[in-house]
Structure 1
């Protein structure tokens, strides 16, 4: 179907009048690991017995056969890194396809990999790494679900347990509830795959075991740090909701932003993981994403920028992307700094109005905690914060520890590794030009990574001023003293300015999510009842909704469920959302019309796929009631007059005009404002600087900024 084949760009149709070669497990130019599931599609009347297949002259015909579904295909192995010429010849002619293979350790399209990189294969049961990419042979472990405890336990086929449970899949197959977990290394990350598995039977990609329903769940993990080491996948693949129904579950530790806060690498890791899955376990009907916080960022980001990898998503405690969230955290840091230094800001309600949040705890919890080190503002943009490179908050670093010797220090190790998000993804952002270099860059004769954070022209607290909640003097005091952050995260009196190349890259590569492609994907967004009191505020779901409206004219593919119980109950909303998503995707799958996928998404939306909330344990679909129970608020930028979409990194400026304000400024206050904003203030009626729609499927293999992959390779006639 269209969903499963979107990544490869291959139409599920007959080959017409000529012989064709198709790579089924990935695009032919993105293959990795030395193997590929390949089909030789024959025209009507042609017999497979006459077909010979070779790779660069090496005969691989023995890998091919007519499989149970009637297709002539095989798993081609031994592909060299680089281009491989696959040729098929038969009575119907000859065809050739260039298959480009990449190392199993990567990269494929994410560009140069970060260094240093520490392997953790021994700590995760895989033995010693065999090379610098941490590669080791995969390990397989069996588990079973106990009918007595309901828990997964190690399974030994030699001693079958008396409490072995059984499950009936959504295809009506009753099977022993035994799960095989495959753990291995790919793209320098550790991956897990779990499937219902009968150890007495074989499994081939063209003949999966009956317990597999052809569907895949990918759990994404939270947090966001520029970590320089492997780790175990944070989200367990032993997911009863999915496995009991026949789903496979697969993830990589690179799909946890807390272990790899680079969305391009996350997309690359998922691409490689799905290819390996198809080559090992068989075709995927559709893939569902699931995950909270950083896991939601990845789902929104991947569906918008690498379409075809995820067919439906279940984000929870969600944010649209990393970099608009960085903007919120750094604004909190600057605002908190000034609030703590100025006697004018003693009233909590006034401070909260400036941040746009429902409560001061949002800024003061994890975005910026001045009394400790549990703060993302520091973890994300402070280059000598070694806890970021070591895993940050996710690794339990709530106090400063000695930095590794390879971490940057402006004085003692200026050429060290900078622990910032932009330097971690320098393969995406590129380096600052010499014209922008600061003193340390001059010393090392190398620019640091381009950074998109900017607060030039931002009128912090504008809405609070207009409402009369803060005084003109407070407004002037705040904006003339809030300052900015230099490239080393030091406070400076002047505002921060984004590097121009970073703004171009941020929008072009979709680092700020532009969800045009996301219209092709059903979205069920889940929020708990506590979202407005900590960093995962309810606002962010509506921020994403506003972006959908901007990009597509509607948000018909998205529903929001608010007040979802954090702990599973008899009325488990999380499981209901999973089942609803499965139903929605199955209906799209069954829609064989030639209409665009985004049309099918809306047409096949189930009747109960509507906005809702939970009050007193009951599901409510009257949104006037829900909005009263669960209002959403904003951010420092919306409180400064910015749009709900919150997708402007650097605003365009307009002249400061006294007539734009309802407040009465004294002449002295007005002069101070003019000195604060000499080039003008934000004009949010216009798009941001360099703001543009993103380009899907960018490759950074040839350098920062990225280039579109273009159409997937197709086979042509061979001499």
Structure 2
């Protein structure tokens, strides 16, 4: 089995200096000769879960591996090991207790070697800290069906089950999936065939494993023979139908449910037909559980499970829309190595900086709906204040607008996914109830603000000059600017409007930035990205968010060569397959690169020809790579045709126009990285404006901003390069895992 640096990094979920070489190393210069080396495969030795660890033993030169004895805390486990077909000595060690276990390898007359393995419960947590509760198990299904099988009664409060269950689907001749019943299978000539990456042509039948890991249901789909369903499925004898590549499906939304839900569908024809394994978990479905640390933790745990049951993973590609894009960006930022290639759609940059804009839009809508202080603001003026194409992006009535989402993030009494409807949800008459806010669902990360037990929030709009760009470019009048900032106000900790601005809790912005809750260019620059950019200028998934990621990478690395934007107004029929195939080729090339280049250098050097910024011209049925036409620079143009006049004026781009509008914070003067949770302040000065204020207006502005306005020439409060691979087991804020355990000679 090939072992490039890229492979070792990908297989173990390792990252940079934290996770590379997981469990390796060790040796001795003693007279007794060198000791064996022990490695845990699929994860770090201190992040093992579920009582099992796949372990490789590398014997010293000249030592017969069959003479080695292996034990765990004195219990002999030698029989678990054997020299496998690839020449490696590998064994699955089971029965590990929670906490520390010492695995020892010894041979008479030579130094022994030990490796400390720390095991964690299958139900978690491992790195995410205290789990939110209550948690409702739904493993028992009284009326099971093809997408919701019965897993049996839960064994404990973490919803663990006795064993995974399996179901089958097959590909029909009409290119759809249908239920395959092994007890009553369809005729063989009714089942499509598929030729895998290795060149094998087999019946197109898919086995789906469903189980529970980290309190969440997961699905794993692989090509399989239902007449011999476990053939070759061991970690050292990988099924030839699986190419050892993993495709992870992340789910959209952002909700705070305390009940088990369902994973994303894993019946992905593009991936399965190539021999990929497809994985999903409800814990990586933001529409059920909006916490990117538990999302990362779940990916880590399930990748370990795959390694121990199916075999080592070559690399992991992922895709996800909206909230699924949040997660990919955040996992690359805070837990690099879990994903090697990402295919985000509708590319929200992260959860918290988009959450700022939800709050901004709720405030703007309230201001306008409340009479706008007696002034009139046209739809074009509202659009320019928010930075958008039109006012509906913020306010509606477009179906998906940010003001409508504000309560779901900030009001503890609102929310779906069994939170806002929970009978014990928080209210003024039930102060000890479940709080349905983003920060409270992530309280293990941010911690409590005070004796109330409410979570800290990093939300802040002190010093924000709403409409700054608009007033300086003559799009609104000085009086409109002053009135807006006088009356916009903020939200309190319970999501209720207040006349004063929002103030972040002490320490919360520092945690948001320092722990990686704001997606950062450092990790984003070390993963291959092909973003599917639907030309969207009308609602909350607008395409500028992809350019925010671009600028964050650019700021950190000096270029954005690892991120590719594919824009389209009408998606070509083969878009999914084209993106997947291009990313697969990209990662396969990186995998094969055995040079001494850094990982990022390998990613940039091995880009396929199709991995270039492009836009699809549906009128011609071709992709254009003209950067000026496609408007793909890091500082894209907003130029657009304007139709109508006066109150009816509206940006209305033509067929060959691809403008990219902005967000509320960039429209208030922030740069294109749009990544500051709480700004540093500077004195209010007349030199910053290109318009004239009356003395009365200037005095009113001074009253609005007594401590100054945002100074975007400086980093935000607590804005630092985030630490990676943090654990929250010791409490909020997180601490780095530190160096991975290695085997030691004894």
1:147 aligns with 2:147: no
SS in 1 for 2:170: strand
SS in 1 for 2:182: coil
1:172 aligns with 2:161: no
SS in 2 for 1:226: coil
Q: Which residue number in structure 1 is paired with residue 586 of structure 2?
A: 584
Contact 1:562 1:614 in 2 (8 A): yes
Once the two structures are overlaid, the 10-residue window that deviates more, 592-601 or 4-13, is 4-13
Contact 1:286 1:310 in 2 (8 A): yes
1:345 aligns with 2:345: no
Contact 2:398 2:538 in 1 (8 A): no
SS in 1 for 2:666: helix
Question: Which one of 239, 259, 262 corresponds to residue 229 of structure 1?
Answer: 259
**Cα deviations by residue, 1:217-265 (Å, 9 ceiling, x for unpaired):** 00101001111111010x2111110111110011111001111111100
Question: Which one of 402, 422, 445 corresponds to residue 404 of structure 1?
Answer: 422
**1:47 to 1:96, Cα distance in 2 relative to 1, 3 A:** same
Q: Which residue number in structure 2 is paired with residue 625 of structure 1?
A: 629
- TM alignment of 1:430-441, pairs within 5 A: 430-433=447-450
**Cα deviations by residue, 1:647-683 (Å, 9 ceiling, x for unpaired):** 1111111111112212111111111111111111111
1:654 aligns with 2:682: yes
SS in 2 for 1:629: coil
Q: Distance in 1 between matches of 2:159 and 2:398?
A: 33
SS in 2 for 1:37: strand
**1:665 to 1:188, Cα distance in 2 relative to 1, 3 A:** same
Q: Distance in 2 between matches of 1:107 and 1:114?
A: 11
1:153 Cα deviation (Å)? 2.8
**1:583 to 1:679, Cα distance in 2 relative to 1, 3 A:** same
Contact 1:388 1:420 in 2 (8 A): no
Contact 1:52 1:90 in 2 (8 A): yes
Q: Distance in 2 between matches of 1:448 and 1:391?
A: 16
Q: Which residue number in structure 2 is paired with residue 264 of structure 1?
A: 293
Contact 1:365 1:535 in 2 (8 A): no
Q: Which residue number in structure 2 is paired with residue 562 of structure 1?
A: 567
1:12 Cα deviation (Å)? 11
1:211 aligns with 2:241: yes
1:518 aligns with 2:524: yes
Contact 1:258 1:391 in 2 (8 A): no
Question: Which one of 602, 611, 616 corresponds to residue 614 of structure 1?
Answer: 616
Backbone CA RMSD of aligned residues: 1.9
Question: Which one of 549, 552, 555 corresponds to residue 547 of structure 1?
Answer: 552
Q: Which residue number in structure 1 is paired with residue 100 of structure 2?
A: 83
1:127 Cα deviation (Å)? 2.1
Contact 1:66 1:72 in 2 (8 A): yes
Contact 2:287 2:417 in 1 (8 A): no
Q: Which residue number in structure 1 is paired with residue 634 of structure 2?
A: none
**Cα deviations by residue, 1:347-383 (Å, 9 ceiling, x for unpaired):** 111111111111222113499989xx99221101101
Q: Which residue number in structure 2 is paired with residue 398 of structure 1?
A: none
1:158 Cα deviation (Å)? 5.5
Q: Distance in 2 between matches of 1:634 and 1:48?
A: 62
Question: Which one of 7, 20, 29 corresponds to residue 9 of structure 1?
Answer: 20
1:637 aligns with 2:665: yes
Contact 2:400 2:540 in 1 (8 A): no
Q: Distance in 2 between matches of 1:347 and 1:551?
A: 39
Contact 1:3 1:311 in 2 (8 A): no
**1:592 to 1:14, Cα distance in 2 relative to 1, 3 A:** farther
Q: Which residue number in structure 1 is paired with residue 473 of structure 2?
A: 467
**1:391 to 1:611, Cα distance in 2 relative to 1, 3 A:** farther
**1:144 to 1:391, Cα distance in 2 relative to 1, 3 A:** farther
1:332 aligns with 2:336: no
1:550 Cα deviation (Å)? 1.1
Q: Distance in 2 between matches of 1:97 and 1:511?
A: 33
**1:210 to 1:279, Cα distance in 2 relative to 1, 3 A:** same
Q: Which residue number in structure 2 is paired with residue 48 of structure 1?
A: 65
Q: Which residue number in structure 2 is paired with residue 717 of structure 1?
A: 745
Q: Which residue number in structure 1 is paired with residue 209 of structure 2?
A: 182
1:344 Cα deviation (Å)? 1.5
**Cα deviations by residue, 1:478-519 (Å, 9 ceiling, x for unpaired):** 000000111111111110011121011001101111121222
Q: Distance in 2 between matches of 1:364 and 1:604?
A: 44
Aligned residues, how many? 688
Q: Which residue number in structure 2 is paired with residue 499 of structure 1?
A: 505
Q: Distance in 1 between matches of 2:669 and 2:365?
A: 19
Q: Distance in 1 between matches of 2:340 and 2:496?
A: 42
Q: Which residue number in structure 2 is paired with residue 121 of structure 1?
A: 139
Q: Distance in 2 between matches of 1:366 and 1:271?
A: 40
SS in 2 for 1:463: helix
Q: Which residue number in structure 2 is paired with residue 102 of structure 1?
A: 120
Q: Distance in 1 between matches of 2:277 and 2:102?
A: 33
Q: Distance in 2 between matches of 1:36 and 1:28?
A: 8
1:159 aligns with 2:189: no
Q: Distance in 1 between matches of 2:377 and 2:687?
A: 29
**Cα deviations by residue, 1:278-325 (Å, 9 ceiling, x for unpaired):** 001101000001011000111111011101100110111001110001
Q: Which residue number in structure 2 is paired with residue 361 of structure 1?
A: 392
SS in 2 for 1:494: coil
- TM alignment of 1:442-453, pairs within 5 A: 445-453=451-459
**1:119 to 1:14, Cα distance in 2 relative to 1, 3 A:** closer
1:447 Cα deviation (Å)? 3.8
1:634 Cα deviation (Å)? 0.5
Q: Distance in 2 between matches of 1:673 and 1:368?
A: 35
Q: Distance in 2 between matches of 1:388 and 1:449?
A: 19
SS in 2 for 1:542: helix
- TM-score normalised by structure 2 residue count: 0.89
1:478 aligns with 2:506: no
Contact 1:562 1:630 in 2 (8 A): no
Contact 2:565 2:613 in 1 (8 A): yes
1:105 Cα deviation (Å)? 0.5
Contact 2:103 2:114 in 1 (8 A): yes
**1:389 to 1:608, Cα distance in 2 relative to 1, 3 A:** closer
Contact 2:7 2:591 in 1 (8 A): no
- TM-score normalised by structure 1 residue count: 0.93
Contact 2:624 2:630 in 1 (8 A): yes
